[in-house]
Amino acid sequence: MKSLNSEKLMYLRDILGLLELIYFFMFDLAEFGKVIVVGLDIHGKDGKLIPVAVNEGDTVLLPEYGGTEVKLDNKEVVFCCGVVWWCWSFTKMLSSGLDLEYWLVNHPTIRNFSWTPGKTLGSSPHFLFFTILSYLFSTFILPQRIISPSISPQFLKTISALHNISLLLLSFIMALGCLLSTLYQAPHLHWIICFPPHTKPTGPLFFWAYIFYLSKILEFVDTLLIILSNSIQRLTFLHVYHHSTVVIMCYIWLQTSQTLFPAVLFTNASVHVLMYAYYLSCALGVRPRWKKIVTNVQILQFYSSFVVLGVMLYYHFTGSGCSGVWGWTFNVVFYASLLVLFVDFHKKSYGASSSKNKLGVKPSKPLFCSNHTQN
């Protein structure tokens, strides 16, 4: 097995560092300090000099655990030894010269991606049909088979936490990859709103649409964890409808080279970063106070989709047309139905007469930190 080279490790470290900062800011857990002195550079096993990751005067995120707190001249000081990981320099991260354009846009795997029906994994209608059929079959059959699961609640919480952090990271990377691909590839604003007719499903943007498509299949695990936690009351119509139908929407994106999918992908993935950060916190025992915000943001993305759709239709009927525009007939019906269901869900969850309903943003997960699993 080939080991990761230093560039890949630095890239991974910086992405994780940024996600860590976002998490700590969200939950108001961040504590910062100013570097007053640094140690000497060290030599690695290969003999090369490894410079210290921070400089005097840098503002750093202090570790929640680790480091040694002491008082010097009545001032609190934290000693951080070894490789700097938690004592992360935000200034260094921004100025480290990461080639995000290469890793998220121009990497050969991303740049040369092509959606080829019948050849690309998951591109056949049969795959789509049997994937959704298997999901629905499992959803309705498993609850009848699993009456009292032998899996311990603590183990389910651990699995739930791993699942949430995986989708949080993936959602963040998809949103960033889609944004950068759009910025680097869009020749003008009109192109972002309306793909030219007969656009081929190739290149970075369609690569991230493909990853998004596969991620929706990964989200089926949401349902599995609900079943394993024996919380069948949380297996609502909205949950099953959303999880099974959104896969079809993503398939249509790729199959028809659908206009405007980058905007939907970016907004939805961004919302999922916020959403899975909340669920991850529940699994870790933290109770964020902004659960209603996630619901509102999800509803807002549906309203904004209809606004942008109106602009796209104007370009389509007043110009030479937009690629895959008729695929939007499915999207409109799907979005409208989700909007109605989510608004109704919002009223039942947060309305004055629904104090007994403590369900959360997305029916796949409740917005409270339960005693067993939050998924």
At 62 the pLDDT is 59
Q: 158-192 b/e with 16+ CB inside 10 Å = b?
A: ebbbebbbebbebbbbbbbbbbbbbeeeeeeeeeb
**Which pLDDT score is estimated for 209?**
97
Domain count, the chain: 2
> What's the pLDDT at 361?
38
- Tell me the pTM: 0.71
- Give the model's pLDDT for residue 160: 92
Query: Measured in Å, how far apart are the chain's first and last C-alpha atoms?
Result: 34
The pLDDT, as a whole number, for residue 19 is: 54
Residues 120 and 91 in one domain: no
> What are φ and ψ of residue 147, in 5° steps?
-90, -50
**Residue 80 exposed, middle or buried by CB count within 10 Å (0-12, 13-18, 19+):** buried
62 and 141 belong to one structural domain? no
Lookup: tokens for 91? 């200034």
Nearest Cα residue to 64 out of 80, 82, 53: 80
Residue pair 375/225 in contact by the 8 Å Cβ criterion: yes
Q: Give the model's pLDDT for residue 159.
A: 92
**H runs (alpha helix) in the chain:** 6-26, 90-95, 100-101, 108-111, 125-145, 153-185, 189-193, 204-218, 220-228, 237-256, 261-283, 291-318, 328-350
Which strands make up the sheet holding 88-89, listed edge to edge? 32-34, 59-61, 88-89
Matching residue, tokens 């619901």 = 295
In a domain, 365, yes or no: no
Does 65 lie in the same domain as 208?
Answer: no
User: From first to last of its 375 residues, what are the pLDDT tens digits of the chain?
Assistant: 344 455 544 545 555 555 555 555 444 455 556 666 666 655 555 666 666 666 776 666 555 544 555 555 555 555 554 333 333 333 344 434 467 889 999 999 999 999 999 999 999 999 999 999 999 999 988 777 665 556 788 888 899 999 999 999 999 999 999 999 999 888 888 888 899 999 999 999 999 999 999 999 999 999 998 888 877 777 889 999 999 999 999 999 999 999 999 999 999 999 999 999 988 988 888 878 877 888 888 889 899 989 999 999 999 999 999 999 988 889 999 999 999 998 988 888 777 544 444 444 343 343 334 333 333
342 and 239 share one domain: yes
Query: Is residue 185 a contact partner of residue 151, using CB atoms and an 8 Å limit?
Result: no
- CB atoms under 10 Å from CB of 304, counted, come to 13
What confidence score (pLDDT) does residue 41 get?
58
Statement to judge: residues 24 and 159 lie in one domain? no
pLDDT attached to residue 94:
40
User: Do 33 and 54 have their domain in common?
Assistant: yes
Q: Which residue segment(s) compose the domain that 39 sits in?
A: 6-98
140 lies in the same domain as 29 = no
Look at residue 89 in the predicted model and tell me its pLDDT: 38
Whichever domain contains 20, its CATH number is 2.30.33
Residues 17 and 88 in one domain: yes
DSSP string, 224-266: HHHHHTT-GGG--HHHHHHHHHHHHHHHHHHHHT-TTHHHHHH
Question: For residue 185, is it within any domain?
Answer: yes
Whether 308 and 202 map to the same domain: the answer is yes
Q: Is residue 366 part of a domain?
A: no
pLDDT at residue number 340: 93
Domain membership of residue 357 (yes or no) is no
Dist CA 52 CA 88 (whole Å):
11
For residue 375, the model assigns a pLDDT of 36
Domain end among 48, 67, 98: 98
Q: Are residues 191 and 334 in the same domain?
A: yes
CA dist 37 and 79 (Å) reads 10
Cα 207 to Cα 210: distance, rounded to the nearest angstrom:
5
Residue 356 lies in a domain: no
